[in-house]
Structure 1
Amino acid sequence: MAAKEVTYEESIKRLEEIVEKIDNNEIDIDNLATTLKEAQKLIKSCHDKLFKVDAEVKKIFNEEE
């Protein structure tokens, strides 16, 4: 069974939660590395989705010209 793909909005929300916890010193040292790795994966996922959508939008506009 394939894992459910996380949406861009869900990724951003989770990143905001992580940043808030870091800002409030709510992440203990034992979980910091794991949390940062999660954030890194979420950032990459968001970047990839934005890059893909950007390419699709440019393609659509180029087809219209």
Structure 2
Amino acid sequence: MSEEKLNITFEEAIEKLEEIVEKLEDGDVPLEKAIDFYQEGMNLAKVCNDKLVKVEKQMEQIMKENGDFEPFSPQEEEQA
């Protein structure tokens, strides 16, 4: 994967994916170009997935008041 793809933000990758989907849905794309779009879309989808996995791992830990990390576990709100 190119260095440019690794430095793209999640939002930029999603925007590019949406553009690719629009082009492919139009149906006026030559087969060779459609394959190129598909491959680019798959690469962008992988970038998005990798970024989401990274954020998910970061969210699994919350910093405690003393600076240590502990596993994140959402607590249910108490109902009155």
TM-score for the superposition, normalised by structure 1: 0.82
Instruction: Return 5+ residue gaps in structure 1 as ranges.
Output: none
Q: CA RMSD in A?
A: 2.0
Task: Select the residue among 12, 15, 21 that pairs with 1:13.
Answer: 15
What's the TM-score once normalised by structure 2's chain length? 0.68
Question: CA 1:12/1:37 → structure 2, altered by over 3 Å: closer, same or farther?
Answer: same
The residue matched to 1:6 in structure 2 has which SS?
coil
Structure 1 stretches of 4+ with a deviation exceeding 6 A read: none
Q: Which runs of 5+ in 2 are unaligned?
A: 64-68, 73-80
Size of the alignment, in residue pairs?
Answer: 63
Higher relative contact order (CA 8 A, sep 6+): 1
Which has the greater radius of gyration?
A: 2
